[in-house]
Amino acid sequence: MDEKSYYSRLLVAFLMVLCFGVIVLQYVCPTSDCQLLHLASLSSRLGSRAPGDRMNGAGAGDPYSSEDGALVRFVPRFNFTTNDLNRAVDFNIKGNDVIVFLHIQKTGGTTFGRHLVRNIQLERPCECHAGQKKCTCYRPGKRDTWLFSRFSTGWSCGLHADWTELTNCVPSFMGNRESQERRRTPSRNYYYITILRDPVWRYLSEWRHVQRGATWKASKHMCDGHSPTLSELPSCYTGDDWSGCSLEEFMVCPYNLANNRQTRMLADLSLVGCYNLSVMSERQRWAMLLESAKRNLRNMAFFGLTEYQRKTQYLFEHTFRLSFIAPFTQLNGTRAASVEVESETQRRIRELNQWDVELYEYARDLFLQRFQYARQQERREARQRRLQERRKLHAKVKPWWGVTGKAVFKPTKEPPMTEQSPTFSEEKRVDAGQTLESETEGQVEDNWLEEDDSETILDYLENVEQWR
């Protein structure tokens, strides 16, 4: 009985310690995201590979290999240059470089913004505290931020600032935060990033958000040094907000900024007179905005798509050489997805957002081509590494194959020479031996190269199948 009671007390004590640990974890890190990161970090310390890490090359150890199969039915529509597709940048987090996140409403930017401050493996992780929205993201050894976003610097350039606002505001804002000594250092590199979403579902998501009382009244819409007047940007509702509005009411307002929001927020509004609609015709205005948005999107360091979470994670990691701790999750159960919309209504939404539809098709094509280009580049680098390893192995085992200067000479058309021949000198024997050794080594190298060429052919055939 004494032994049983001893083990019972020991079990009770263990359970009490476990419950106490769970309570402390909930207090220190109440959010599920934070707990997930702790678990991922723990598994990494125990020797398992973090989901964000990639092994060399593609294969069973590659967490993104399953994403390659999704490109089978992808047919590219646009021709992009190598510079458009290769977006890997030399981001120096210890220097002056800054990532600037352009957050467009209802594109999943809040989730991605949290990934930036909570889910990246860093030498000096961002300091995030429970109950506070903003995190402190300092560079290693400095009190200087490397990230300009909602969850790091707040809405410092205005609520949901667009491309026009950010490009005019961010450099001066970051300059004002620097000390006199820091201002003498070379100018910063600003790497702009954003997230896009299918226009129809983004529009429906914004309607549901506005229906619940969202207004974004704090948005400045700064352009050419001033905000738009009430006549340039009238309101769609009277009162404090537009809560309870129907989808029909949301769609019929001609001043609704939800219409083609992604195109407008990514374009240079100065090109069309900002919000002054009398400068040019509506169609000419939107055509210019669309071309500007495409150009800015193409030149951004990175952009992701809400509908492709894992590819978005891969391209960010590939672009900035940073790894996420926990993998991105594809969530399809959004509020917009729960809305039952008739096909006719969806068609009308697409017409209202025709410029966003065109921009998204362009962005999707560029995004998928960038993903495929990056994967092919990664496979080529893996093949080069394997080839170098084989050459090193060949150099070590070459004596075992008998590849030396004493190997048998190849027969030639000329009669063989002997040591008694007057023209056969010691010098020529040495030269012949060196020539034979180089020829034999060249043959072996050719064998290695032929093996690598076969892999290249297989990779090419694989890519042809994907592009059909």
CB 98 within 8 A of CB 190: yes
| Tokens standing for residue 1 | 């009985």
Dihedral over alpha carbons 407, 408, 411, 414 (to 10 degrees): 80
- Angle of CA points 370, 375, 379, to nearest 5°: 150
Question: What is the rounded CA–CA span in Å between residue 226 and residue 172?
Answer: 16
Task: Name residues whose C-beta falls within 8 Å of residue 53's C-beta, 6 or more positions apart in sequence.
Answer: 323
Burial 141-164 (b: 16+ CB within 10 A, else e): eeebbbbbbbbbbeebbbebbbbb
- Angle of CA points 176, 182, 187, to nearest 5°: 80
Q: What is the DSSP string of 206-223?
A: HHHHHHTT---TT----B
- Let me know how long the chain is: 468
Closest CA to 356 of 274, 259, 277: 259
160 is catalytic: yes
Check residue 71 and report its DSSP letter. G
Question: What is the rounded CA–CA span in Å between residue 120 and residue 51?
Answer: 11
Q: How many CB atoms lie within 10 A of CB 396?
A: 9
Whole-angstrom CA distances from 120 to 29, 114, 117, 156, 311 are 17, 10, 7, 23, 16
Q: How far is CA 294 from the centre of its chain?
A: 18
CB 105 within 8 A of CB 122: no
Closest CA to 138 of 156, 150, 122: 122
CB 293 within 8 A of CB 366: no
Question: What is the rounded CA–CA span in Å between residue 408 and residue 261?
Answer: 77
Question: What is the rounded CA–CA span in Å between residue 242 and residue 57?
Answer: 52
Determine which one of 103, 160, 221, 318 is catalytic: 160
Residues noted as catalytic: 160
